[in-house]
Structure 1
Amino acid sequence: MATADESWLEVACLGGGLTVEVENYLRLASLSYAEDDLAESYLGRAMAVAPDHAAVLIGYYRFYFYKGRLLDALGIARRCLKKAAKDNGLSSDWRRVGCKDANFGSYEAILPRFYLFTLKAYGYLNLRLGCLAEGREVIVKLLELDPGDKIGSKVLLDVLERMGKDDED
């Protein structure tokens, strides 16, 4: 069960706490997805009004990711990671975050889960962009923070470890 401090994020990720104006911009961005410039302009308007709202950041991230604009998605993932660290009271350097710094073991803990999923997105994008050392380091950190692998990071490490090996190895 989410605490009062965490419930806002759950609501925010579902679009709660948004003004009608920002909700409208996000809806229009979604409806104009096929028209890149128009959709991005609506996202930009939403960002101008609510720059730190999780729903706006996630909307931007998804737009960039599904458009194959991985460097732009990585930039948003960095912003999300900074926000998630701040909201959890964690170090802004993910390398310095320890498993006892937040309730990472509880899937129901919304803020720590948002941090883990954001870190996973950051690691995945690094892998996709060829930054294999950084990506590996992130995944190892994820598995340290989430040893039960509730968010499914191990599969990324498995893929990374199989790279360059023959199928018969």
Structure 2
Amino acid sequence: MMPDTFVSPQVEINEALVTGALLGRGLPSEVEHHLGEAGLSYHLDDIAERHLREAAALAPDHAAVLIGLYRFYFYKGRLAEALAVARRCLLKAAQENNLPDDWRSVRADDAEFGRYENILPRFFLFSLKGYAYLQMRLGETDEGRLAVQKLLELDPTDKIGAKVLLGVLERMGHDDE
């Protein structure tokens, strides 16, 4: 289990992208409506999920839809479904950045990962961080560790906070005093 003070990667993804051009670019008004309704009906799981699915049917690969789905599944504790969406976010982010589809093949000089203001590389980093976190939560610590190590390779100054995840991995199995 992650410490209570840990900020979810989804919150970071959301904060990084909600007002960015990436989310608004090409979002049909009907999709925007469904995403808005999903947010308003978040407490009504079936209704919120129906709106998210409608949005996904209309714009299945749009970052705003993917992030909406991720947030819903993540905060509802449906982590396996959130992981499936995180994988889609990673693929979307790789495509948007002209990166290899497999995150393991991405190199630090493939994009401007060190420039935090560059939204597309940051989307990739946050997607990979969400992927790493979910792998850890689902007990796949080796995969989570590989993703965290890749994050630190791509972002050596740790602007997105991957060292927090590394710290959690290092503390696993040790008794808390």
**TM-score scaled by structure 2?**
0.86
Any gaps of 5 or more consecutive residues in structure 2? 1-18
Q: What RMSD, in angstroms, separates the aligned Cα atoms of the two structures?
A: 1.3
Three-state SS of the structure 1 residue aligned to 2:108 is coil
- Whether 1:21 and 2:30 are equivalent positions in the alignment is yes
The equivalent residue for 2:55 is 46
The equivalent residue for 1:138 is 147
Aligned partners of 1:11 and 1:17 also within 8 Å: no
Match of 1:60 among 63, 69, 72: 69
Match of 1:160 among 163, 166, 169: 169
Larger Rg: 1
Count of residues paired in the alignment: 159
The amino acid that maps onto 1:35 is L
In the TM superposition, what whole-angstrom CA distance separates every residue of 1:18-47 from its partner, at most 9, and x where no partner exists?
A: 221111101111111111111111000001
Q: How high is the sequence identity, in percent, across the aligned residues? A: 64
The equivalent residue for 1:121 is 130
Aligned partners of 1:12 and 1:18 also within 8 Å: no
Three-state SS of the structure 1 residue aligned to 2:54 is helix
In the TM superposition, structure 1's runs of 4+ consecutive aligned residues that sit over 6 Å from their partners are none
Higher RCO (CA 8 Å, separation ≥ 6 residues): 2
In the TM superposition, what whole-angstrom CA distance separates every residue of 1:70-90 from its partner, at most 9, and x where no partner exists?
A: 000000000000010011111
> How far, CA to CA, are the matches of 1:84 and 1:151 in structure 2?
16
The amino acid that maps onto 2:91 is K
The amino acid that maps onto 2:22 is A
> How far, CA to CA, are the matches of 2:26 and 2:95 in structure 1?
19
Any gaps of 5 or more consecutive residues in structure 1? 1-8
